[in-house]
């Protein structure tokens, strides 16, 4: 899911067909919202987040994950190539639920806490 989002964020493309490959429901809507907001702000992202998810609990139909997403190398840029702002990125506690549906695992719930939360 993160790779799909990083690729879509290069052009702030909320309609990228990649997005629903690994996300659905509320998680998919959150990804699309963020990309739409970036498009309105006329910014794109370069780089990719660093992730290292840990399993909190798991069943044969659902996995709950926690992570400390590092976006210091995944920053937003104006269309002219300048950084959007001087915020260096940060670490965000991220909670996710992944569910199996028709044999496919997809992130259904995603919550990113504030910067510095991990």
Per-residue pLDDT tens over the stretch 4-41: 999 999 999 999 999 999 999 999 999 999 999 999 99
pLDDT of res. 87: 82
Q: Which two tokens stand for residue 31?
A: 């990804």
Domain locations along the chain: 2-115
Which of these CATH numbers, 3.40.640.10, 3.40.1000.10, 3.10.450.240, 3.40.50.2300, describes 2-115?
3.10.450.240
The Cα 50–Cα 93 span in angstroms is: 12
For residue 59, how many C-alpha atoms fall within 13 Å in the half-sphere facing its CB?
5
**What's this model's pTM, rounded to 2 decimal places?**
0.92
Q: Give the pLDDT score at 110.
A: 98
Tell me if 73 sits within 8 A of 50, measured CB to CB.
Answer: yes
Q: Contact at 8 Å (CB) between 99 and 108?
A: yes
**Pair 77, 46: CB distance under 8 Å:** yes
Q: What is the pLDDT of residues 58-114, one digit of tens each?
A: 999 999 999 999 999 999 999 999 999 888 889 999 999 999 999 999 999 999 999
């Amino acid at each position: 899911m993160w790779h799909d989002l990083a690729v879509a964020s290069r052009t702030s493309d909320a309609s990228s067909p990649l997005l629903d490959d690994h996300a659905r429901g509320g998680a998919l809507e959150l990804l699309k919202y963020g990309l739409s907001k970036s498009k309105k702000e006329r910014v794109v992202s370069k780089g990719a987040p660093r992730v290292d998810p840990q399993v909190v609990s798991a069943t044969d139909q659902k996995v709950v994950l926690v992570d400390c997403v590092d976006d210091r190398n995944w920053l937003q840029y104006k269309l002219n190539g300048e950084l959007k702002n001087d915020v260096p990125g940060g670490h965000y506690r991220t909670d996710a639920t992944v569910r199996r549906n028709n044999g496919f695992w997809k992130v259904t719930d995603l919550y990113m806490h504030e910067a510095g939360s991990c």
